Amino acid sequence: MKVLAGNSNRPLAEAIAAYLNLPMTKASVRRFSDQEIFVEIQENVRGQDVFVIQSTSYPTNDNLMELLVCIDALRRASAKRITAVIPYFGYARQDRKPGPRTPISAKLVANLITTAGANRVLTLDLHAGQIQGFFDIPTDNLFAAPAFVHDIKEQYGTDERLMVVSPDVGGVVRARAIAKRIDADLAIVDKRRERAGESEVMNIIGDVSGRRCILVDDIVDSAGTLCNAAGALKAKGAKSVSAYVSHGVLSGGAVARVSASQLESLVISDSIQATEAVRLCRNIRRVSIAPLIAEAMRRINDETSVSSLFD
C-alpha cells in the first residue's frame, strides 16, 4: 500500500499517511515555466495498491489536471490498483442540466478520471449521491457526520435545547442523519434563490424559539445561504446559531461575511486546505477527517467493509 499526494492539500495527505504509519511515496509534482504539469514517481510502485490524495478545489482545473497526470504516471508505472482519493470533488454541483444547452460537468470529470486509469474512487460528502453512478468504477462516498457528531457532543454535551437545521429542502436527509445521531429535533429553512450564488430566506419550518440551532450542509461557498439562514433563525428567537459544513470552499468575500454574521461558529472539515483568512477568522473552526479517510483506505486495501464505518 502506497500513499501519493498532489499539491492541493498536503497537510491532509500527511495526516492520513501518519495515521496509517506509512511514508509518503516519493514523487515530484511540478510545473514547467508555461505551467504545464509534470509528474515523476521516484520509487517503485509496480504491483502496489496506490492511493492518490488530491482535492479538486481552487484552483480547480489545475488540481484536477494534477490528479489525472498522477493517475496516468502510476498506470504507466504498472501500479496494481489506483484509487483516486478526492476529499472534495470539484464540479459536483454541475450534476444535472439546470437549463437547455448546459453541461453535466460532474459526469465529464468522472469520465476523465476513469479514462486516466483510476480503478476506484474514494470521496467525501458528494453534493449529490447520484454522482457515484457517473463512474463506471467502484466509488465509495464517505460522510463527515461521525466527525461532526463527535465534535457536537464535545461542544454541547446533552443539551436538550439543540435543534439541527437544514438550510434548504435538498439537505434534509443530511441534517436528519445528524439529528438522529444526537437525538435532536429538526427544522428546515425554506428559501427562494433569485439567482446563482444568492438566496433569500423566506420561512422557517419548525419552532426554533429558545433553541441552540446547528445548521448542517455539505458545501459553503459564498456563505450567503448560511448567513441569511442564521439571521432568520435569530429573528425567530433562536438562542444561538452554529453551522457544520463538510467542505469550506469559502470563495470571494465569504470569510468576511461569516465573520460579520450571526453565526456563533462555523465548523468545517479539512477536505480543502485552509487559506490564511480562514485560519485567522474568529468564528471558523476546523475538524480533521484524516482518520476517517485513512481508515477507509485501510479497509479498501484489506478488502473489508467500508460502509460499516458508519454503522
Q: Where do we find the cell 466509488?
A: 139
307: three-class secondary structure by DSSP = helix
Which of 214, 194, 192 is closest to 203 using CA atoms? 192
Separation of alpha carbons 90 and 72, rounded Å:
19
Catalytic residue (one of 80, 107, 191, 239): 191
Please enumerate, by residue number, every residue annotated as part of a binding site: 34-36, 93-94, 127, 168, 193, 217, 221-225
Q: Where are the alpha helices (DSSP H) in 81-208?
A: 105-116, 145-156, 172-182
Q: Is 153 a catalytic residue?
A: no
Orientation angle between helical segments 10-19 and 290-302, nearest 10 degrees: 60
Please enumerate, by residue number, every residue annotated as part of a binding site for D-ribose 5-phosphate: 193, 217, 221-225
Residue type, 257: R
Cis before 103? omega within 30: no
Residue type, 207: D
Q: Where are the alpha helices (DSSP H) in the chain?
A: 10-19, 60-76, 105-116, 145-156, 172-182, 224-235, 254-259, 276-280, 290-302
Catalytic residue numbers? 191
